[in-house]
A and B are shown apart, each in its own frame.
Chain A
């Protein structure tokens, strides 16, 4: 199925109308670069709760992911780096025991999503072997090096911010705002991409497409 384009005043809300309570939501971005703020705001208005959020960080300041956390919609955060200068919303909830945290090394976090999108059952990874984050995991020595078994991380929904899409759902990104977007776009049941601009089919150079249309369900432009 090719992507559906959502445009106009209620585009973000329409694109997220069916997110269910208890969903696992992959949220792109590294800090604010590539952070799909408008989609997160729509998710807050939509009202789904008991969410598991997978993202590199656990919210900055009081907007975006931090606002979703503050609204009490998140049961669990899976991320690599929750603690930042401006992560006071997450820090407070965590210390009060109101949100669960799974810390995953950044490369393992993204590779687990890559595995989910690529149909890999699990993989042995040297990162974290012999550390607290490898504790309790199955291990194997491969070529003299200790590895831990890591499992795929799949989302029900992925929220991705990109630069330009065509009407079929092919996507290009901008600079380091690409970060987690292309991988998250492969790893969720429903992939929603917000872009600055939509062009007609044929309007993107096929050699430059980063996320091919097969992965994208919904394109949102406002």
Chain B
């Protein structure tokens, strides 16, 4: 069976080392928070200036001065801190964040990321913090479906959409498989397939135009 969004989010949560400082991108990546156990000690960063962000706020908890990067009201956990935007982005660029999880339109075998612009002529460009997150975190995990709505693969030899960052993605978690991408994987012969769901490496080779290395029997953090 292919994985649901929740199953992908759970797999990512399982691969985040205990005690990590983590930024979850707007949209689907926020699902990862539901699968982080309180004992993991993972501290969530939100780029609008907070560490140890808590879950979404409801009812009386809603405070217009306390929101996440998606502008949704959130709560603070014990040990939280607030800081201004320049400090918040210094945390990213300075390599202080351990992991960031982002969505994507496309990821290349070499780890290039395209997730901010569809490239359509009439689209109003809007980048937010996507480029800073992509190049800043120590490890970048992408959460996406392997195929676009029109059936074309989103893991590609080279991105055709405008780039967010070069060679910045480490892992790609999809409904059909988990991959390791980037310069190291490429130097070792291709994208490493860490695990498959409802498909096999041979089928993925048919589907994708990138060279794949079968690493499904190698040990990995959680089995992908």
Contacts and interface: CB of A to CB of B under 8 A. Distances in A.
Interface of A: 30-34, 80-84, 91, 94-95, 101, 103-108, 110-111, 113-114, 125-133, 146, 173-183, 210
Contact of B86 (A84, A110, A127, A177): A110
Nearest to A135: B162
List the 10 closest A-B pairs by CB distance, nearest first.
Answer: A107-B89, A107-B132, A31-B71, A177-B65, A83-B126, A182-B84, A106-B129, A81-B128, A110-B85, A105-B131
A181 B85 CA distance: 8
A186 B154 CA distance: 43
A106 B128 contact: yes
Contacts of B131: 105, 107-108, 127-128, 131, 133
Interface of B: 46-50, 63-67, 71, 76, 82-86, 88-90, 92-93, 117, 122, 124-132, 135-136, 162-166
Given A32-B64, A83-B124, A179 B48 contact: yes
A95 B128 CA distance: 20
Q: Chain A interface secondary structure, helix, strand, loop or mixed? A: mixed
Contacts of A94: 124
Contact of A131 (B82, B89, B164): B164
Contacts of A182: 84, 86
Contacts of B85: 30, 106-107, 110, 179-180, 183
B135 to A, nearest CB: 5
A126 B135 CA distance: 7
Given A133-B131, A176-B48, 8 more contacts: A83-B124, A83-B125, A91-B124, A103-B125, A107-B47, A174-B65, A179-B49, A183-B84
